[in-house]
């Protein structure tokens, strides 16, 4: 049974057949009349589908998970660390989003993003691959794996990523940002990253996005903690996005337009 359904049109209120071209035309108009140093983009934020760590968290409850189980790699029945895979449900959730992309492309003339950014964790990359399966075309810019798009880091083994070599071999066709280390030297078994530090990482990702004025429509596939750090960085409050969920917003460097 599915616990969450992606909202129609990714939550866009406009139901007209040309809803997405109208929105992107509006963004172009904003950019054409924007003050110097100000630019606008449409950013789609997608959370990964259910991973085995999510199942384990439900099994033991938040308190026991944070206090004990999240520090282990598994319990003899479920393996969640390091860097867990999607569950069958998680893959189905990503396929649901893939179906909605195809529906919006055919019904609402939704274009594909000019650029896609991804977390380096397997569950997010696998979600992105399924989400855009059959949609990517020759000549499109490859998705870019960014270290700063990862989940709140440290202590929890599910948030320790695999090696650069593993990622490049498994996720063929994805670019990896310069300076990306072979081993995960950021994960600390004893120190959990603060929410404020996640916000700071999100600001770095925002700067990366806005350093490319040629990209008006951008997607980011990541995690609940990072997505809320991203929203906080643009002045938006906490949003409980379920696994497999997507939200889209129009953003500038300084504020959020919903």
CA–CA separation, 66 vs 64, rounded Å? 6
Q: Which long-range contacts (CB under 8 A, 24 or more apart) does 105-110 make?
A: 105/135, 107/17, 108/9, 108/12, 108/17, 108/18, 108/19, 108/20, 109/17, 109/18, 109/19, 109/20, 109/21, 110/20
Helix or strand run (H / E) with residue 217: strand 217-222
Tell me if residue 7 falls in helix, strand or coil: coil
Beta bridge partners of 208: none
DSSP-assigned beta bridge partners for residue 118: 145, 221
Whole-angstrom Cα distance, residue 153 to residue 222? 13
Radius of gyration in angstroms for the set of CA atoms belonging to the chain, rounded to a whole number? 18
Number of helices and strands in the chain (H, E) = 8, 7
Instruction: Please pick, among 147, 151, 152, 193, the residue that the annotation labels catalytic.
Output: 151
Q: Are strands 256-257 and 246-252 parallel, antiparallel or unpaired?
A: antiparallel
Query: What is the C-alpha separation between 216 and 248, in angstroms, rounded?
Result: 13
* β 144-145/115-118 pair status: parallel
Q: Which of 7, 6, 81 is nearest to 51 (CA)?
A: 81
| Residue 212 designated active-site | no
Catalytic annotation present for 48: yes
Which residues are marked as active site?
48, 151
């Amino acid at each position: 049974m599915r616990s969450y359904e992606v909202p129609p049109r990714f939550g866009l209120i406009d139901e007209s057949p040309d809803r997405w071209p109208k929105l992107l035309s509006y963004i172009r108009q904003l950019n054409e009349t924007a003050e110097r140093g100000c630019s606008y983009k449409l950013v789609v934020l997608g959370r990964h589908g259910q991973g085995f760590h999510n199942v384990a968290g439900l099994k033991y409850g938040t308190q026991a998970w944070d206090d004990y189980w999240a520090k282990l790699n598994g319990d003899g029945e479920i393996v969640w660390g390091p860097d867990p895979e999607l569950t069958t449900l998680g893959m189905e959730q990503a396929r649901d989003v893939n179906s909605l992309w195809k529906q919006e492309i055919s019904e609402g003339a939704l274009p594909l993003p000019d650029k896609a950014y991804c977390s380096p964790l397997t569950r997010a990359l696998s979600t992105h691959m399924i989400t855009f399966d059959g949609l990517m075309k020759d000549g499109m810019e490859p998705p870019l794996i960014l270290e700063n798009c990862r989940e709140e880091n440290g202590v929890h083994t599910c948030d320790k990523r695999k090696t650069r070599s593993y990622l490049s071999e498994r996720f063929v066709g994805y670019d990896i940002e310069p300076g990306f280390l072979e081993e995960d030297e950021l994960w600390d078994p004893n120190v959990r990253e603060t929410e404020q530090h996640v916000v700071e990482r999100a600001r770095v990702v925002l700067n990366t996005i806005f350093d490319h004025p040629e990209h008006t429509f951008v997607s980011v596939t990541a995690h609940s903690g990072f997505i809320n750090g991203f929203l906080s960085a643009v002045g938006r409050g906490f949003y409980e996005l379920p696994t497999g969920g997507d939200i889209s917003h129009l953003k500038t460097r300084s504020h959020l337009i919903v």
